[in-house]
Amino acid sequence: MTRPVGVATPTQHDEVLERRQQFRAEMRAALGRAPRVLLISANPNVTTFVSPYGLEILAAALVAELDAEVHILDPFLPGTIDFALTAQILRFKPDVIGINFRNLDIAYVADIDSKKILSRSCVPTLRTVLARIRQAGFARTRILLGGGGFAAASADLLRAFDLPYGVIGPGAEAITRFVRAVVLQTSMEEVPGLVTAEDEGRPRRPADATWDNDLVPLCSVPHRTILRERNVFFPLRTSSGCGLRCSYCIEGRSQARKARARAAPRITEELELIQRQGASRVMLADGELNVLYSDVYEHALRLLAEAGLGWRAYCLSIKPAPELLRAMQRSRCEGILLTFDTAADSVLSQIGRPGTVASMVAALDSYAAAKLPVTVSLLFGLPGETDATVAQTLALIRSYPGVKFTYSCGARIYSNTPLAEHARRHPEHVYRDEQSDPLGVSLYSEPGPPWELAALLRGALRDTPNAERFW
């Protein structure tokens, strides 16, 4: 089993210390030992290898708050056998099992030749994990689901697997309070972000990221070793959440509902930790790095520059402040993934993103003038897309031959989003994979099927080497 190692730094506030003392005493009194929590990563790494960053933060919370004994297990780690999971559960005898379901599927794949959706679902992975847990005879009321993939289809997943509880949003406080409620046999009401199958994606008490942001993860050694050996980007978050609500995106629902920056000392501490782990490149794991303006980004970029680490980040297309641009230029930027989606104002307003195409283009101009390596991401087929809006976006691609563009066709419909609501009213624009159950992959695509859009764009962009289809 994997024992997470690392150093969690307790916040020095009296209130926090008092709470932690109380929680730990309660656990000892009820159990006569520390609570045991098993955290399982149900992520088959569909595209690139990633570490279970969310679970590492939960592990830090459980140790800091409850002095818990925590194991992080990944039955899909290369060289691991998934059926060993049952034996590991029987041996460790956890009081609670927390499962991270990071990806529901790989989001977008419409195949031109077969005229089908070929996206790969991660639901079978979750099914395997739950089957192993059941084989160990573990009570379903002590299982808690969470993560981005869970938030995207919470009610459907709970119903499909007959599970009572999941958490939407940041999980540090939630897992701590869940363990406490299980051990003390008290109500689950205090668990922030808790949802049941009836809640349809709306927690009764939303979670926020205060606890999560204040922790330094307890890292899973095997995962971090693979990141180092394969020279993959190590995750590092400077903020959490997104205050915007783009209609197709689960970000503002799966993370905190309001973007919050982390305190600079926590970022410094975590950066030092990943340097010791041998990181040479970092993915700034924020939904969008610049979604709220704060000097914490500049602080992080300065630290990265001093440490000589490369970095990548998703960035919203808003004009970067001169200080932020300078900090980016002075550091080893390996990629800014600019969220653009469309060059048509009519589509932009339909997806509920503030701003205009002119303001997004101004942002692109700033990054391009600063000679930063920008990749613009586009999503064709959103509500309001027409032949004319497709032509507008094609014109944008052609007018920036020096900038790389990636595009997808058809927007993944997640059941907990406004796009799902819109799709229910416009079933003529919905395309499903061959699975008929509610957890199958469905895409929204206007004005025609996603594979037709993809074929049209392939033809139109034949002589445009700066544009590439994402999948």
Residues that bind ligand SF4 (CB under 6 A): 242, 244-246, 249, 251-252, 287-288, 316, 339, 353
Decide which of ligand B12, ligand SF4, none touches 466; Cβ closer than 5 to 8 Å per partner kind: none
**Residue 98 binds which one of ligand B12, ligand SF4, none, with CB within 5 to 8 A depending on kind?**
ligand B12
Shortest Cβ 418–ligand B12 spacing (Å) = 14
> Smallest distance, Å, CB 107 to ligand SF4?
12
Q: Does 53 bind ligand B12 (CB under 6 A)?
A: yes
Stretch near ligand B12 under the rule CB under 6 A, chosen from 5-13, 63-71, 165-173, 353-361 = 165-173
Shortest approach of ligand B12 to residue 286 CB, angstroms?
7
In the complex, the smallest distance separating the C-beta of residue 326 from ligand SF4, rounded to whole angstroms, is 24
Q: Which does 339 bind (CB under 5 to 8 A by kind): ligand SF4, ligand B12, none?
A: ligand SF4
Quote the CA–CA distance of 285 and 304 in Å, as a whole number.
14
Q: Under 8 Å CB-to-CB from 326, ≥6 apart: which residues?
A: none
Q: How far apart are CA 242 and CA 417, in angstroms?
A: 14
Alpha helix segments (H runs only) across 14-170: 14-31, 53-66, 84-92, 123-135, 148-152, 154-160
Verify binding: residue 107, ligand B12, rule CB under 6 A.
yes
What mask, x for binding ligand B12 by CB under 6 A, covers residues 62 to 101? ------------------------------------xxx-
For ligand SF4, the closer CB: 236 or 246:
246
Cα–Cα distances in angstroms (integers) from residue 29 to residues 19, 33, 35, 69, 240, in the given order: 15, 8, 11, 16, 35
450 sits near ligand B12 (criterion: CB under 6 A):
no
CA 452/CA 390 separation, integer angstroms: 13
- Three-class secondary structure of residue 380 per DSSP: strand
Pick the closer one to ligand SF4 by CB: 23 or 108: 108
Our finding on whether 260 is near ligand B12 (CB under 6 A) is no
| 416 neighbors 154 (Cβ within 8 angstroms) | yes
- The closest alpha carbon to 70, from 98, 50, 48, 49, belongs to 98
Tell me the C-alpha distance between 422 and 246, whole Å. 13
Residue 267's binding partner out of ligand B12, ligand SF4, none, with CB under 5 to 8 Å set by partner kind = none
Residue 106 binds to ligand B12 (criterion: CB under 6 A): yes
Per rule CB under 6 A, is residue 238 in the interface with ligand B12? no
DSSP conformation letters of 282-337: EEE-SSSTTSS--HHHHHHHHHHHHHT-EEEEEEESSPPPHHHHHHHHHSEEEEEE
If the CB atoms of residues 170 and 383 are measured against ligand B12, the closer one turns out to be 170
Partner interacting with residue 152 (select from ligand B12, ligand SF4, none; CB below 5-8 Å by kind): ligand B12
Out of 233, 311, 367, 451, the only residue in the binding site for ligand B12 (CB under 6 A) is 233
Least CB distance from residue 223 to ligand SF4, whole Å? 24
Largest CA distance in the chain: 71
The token pair at 433 is: 């994979």
Q: What's the angle, vertex CA 87, arms to CA 221 and CA 137, rounded to 5?
A: 120
**Size (the chain), residues:** 471
Query: If binding is defined by CB under 6 A, does position 146 make contact with ligand B12?
Result: yes
